[in-house]
Structure 1
Amino acid sequence: MHMEEPCFDFLRTKETLGYHVYPTCRNTSGILGFSITVETQATKFNTELVEMKIEDFLANFGEKMASLTDEAFKTQVTALIKLKECEDTHLGEEVDRNWFEVLTQQYVFDRLNKEIEALKLITKSELVSSFMEFRGQSSKKLSIHVVGFGEAEHDPPAEDDGGEAQLAQTDSDGEHRSSLYSEVSKLTFLPASALLASATAITDIHAFRSSLKLYPYHKILK
């Protein structure tokens, strides 16, 4: 919540990178983190520039966090507590929240109350140190660049064989995949840009995942 407005102001209002700009807290099987998503127009900005701007924002946000006043911190915490204390607007919200606890086998059906109690105890120094830890030397980042394909990106037009409205595509093993209803997407890995020379390019998702350390599933119960 504390990052939402500065993120939109920096990347959308000032840098005008795109209309869809937002940060998200992530809980992946008990591993906590956050992500920043920017959907930009391919004919205006390339993804390497967008990533550099995101890094600029994070550096700027880190400076703001370090200079955060006690009053501003308390205001943010109070606003978040009030947000979590709001009653569900419809039955679906309550169902989704409780069903998530069942699906993840955590069964903390009073999680909102526990989060509110935790917010009342958190200190500004804990918040700042947590963010700095995410941005520290030992932190890791996965950057996903999705580049569009089409006339707007000056790509060559698709060949028209004049046949039926059936779309086909060739797999890496040479076999064709077809669909009568929609286009079958094909994932094409692009070479790494010189602007990201220090990054490790992932060209085989399965091989990359196989090389990672497997952590046990962690449930956040308190």
Structure 2
Amino acid sequence: MLMEEPCFDFLRTKEMLGYQVYPTFRNTSGVLGFSVTVETQATKFSSELVEQKIEDFLVSFGGRLASLSEECFAAQVTALIKLKECEDAHLGEEVDRNWYEVATQQYLFDRLSREVEVLKDFSREQLVSWFLHHHGNCSRKLSVHVVGFGVEENDPPHQNLSGSAPSSYGPVSELTFLPAAAPALRSATLITDIRAFTSSLPLHPYYKILS
């Protein structure tokens, strides 16, 4: 909530990087984090440039947080509390929220009220410390670049359907389907039973947030 307006202003209004620019809070199998998504035009900006601009924004946002006044912080917290205390607009919202608790086996049906209680004791110093820690040397980042391919992306026309097509972002290999008896697969281990194969892989436990 605190990041939305600065993110849009920096990456969309000032840098004019893309049509869609937004930050998102993430809870991936109990692993908390946040992401910044930018959808841009490939003929104008490379994905590497966009990633660098996102990093520039995060640096500037850290400075913005450090200079955030107690009054502005309190106003943001109050607005977030009111948002979490809003009643469901329809039955579907209540069902989705409660079914999420069942599907993830967390069963924290009063999650919103607990979050409100935590927010009441949350301080500006805690917020700044958390952000600087998770954007510093101890941070973990996954950068995903989804890049189109074709004439619209300044790639040369496809000439050879049987080989790899050149791309301004590097070599792009075509997907080739081979029968199980193909000579190229003689030394390969074929996966015929998905369940048996996945059961042999290391599995990280689902981290449940219960408080």
Q: TM-score band, normalised by the shorter chain?
A: 0.7 to 0.9
Cα displacement (A) at 1:155: 2.5
> What aligned pairs does 1:189-204 form with structure 2 within 5 A after superposition?
none
| Distance in 2 (alpha carbons) for counterparts of 1:3 and 1:154 | 34
Return the offset for 1:170.
3.5
Separation in 2 of the partners of 1:99 and 1:18?
Answer: 35
- Unaligned runs of at least 5 residues, structure 2: 162-173, 180-201
Deviations 1:107-156 (A, max 9, x none): 11111111111111111111110101101212111111111112211224
TM-score (normalised: structure 2): 0.79
- Which runs of 4 or more aligned residues in structure 1 lie more than 3 Å from their structure 2 counterparts after TM superposition? 156-161
Name 2:135's counterpart in structure 1: 135
What is the correspondence of 1:154-169 to structure 2 with a 5 Å cutoff?
Answer: 154-158=154-158
Alignment correspondent of 1:123: 123
1:221 aligns with 2:202: no
Amino acid at match of 1:221: L
Instruction: Look up the match of 2:148.
Output: 148
Partners of 1:128 and 1:113 lie apart in 2 by 24
Aligned to 1:95: 95
Partner of 2:52: 52
Q: How far, CA to CA, are the matches of 1:61 and 1:135 in structure 2?
A: 10
Partner of residue 63, structure 1: 63
Q: Which has the larger radius of gyration?
A: 2
Q: Which residue of 1 aligns with 2:26?
A: 26
Distance 2:178 2:56 in 1: 43
Q: Distance in 2 between matches of 1:170 and 1:42?
A: 23
CA distance in 2, matches of 1:132, 1:214: 30
**TM-score (normalised: structure 1):** 0.75
Computed over aligned residues only, the root mean square deviation of the Cα atoms, in angstroms, reads: 1.9
Aligned residues between the structures = 177
SS in 2 for 1:83: helix
Q: 1:62-97: per-residue Cα shift (whole Å, max 9, x none)?
A: 001111100010000000011111111111111111
Aligned equivalents of 1:124, 1:138: Cα separation in 2: 21
Distance 2:121 2:63 in 1: 24
Runs of 5+ consecutive residues of structure 1 not aligned to the other structure: 162-168, 176-212
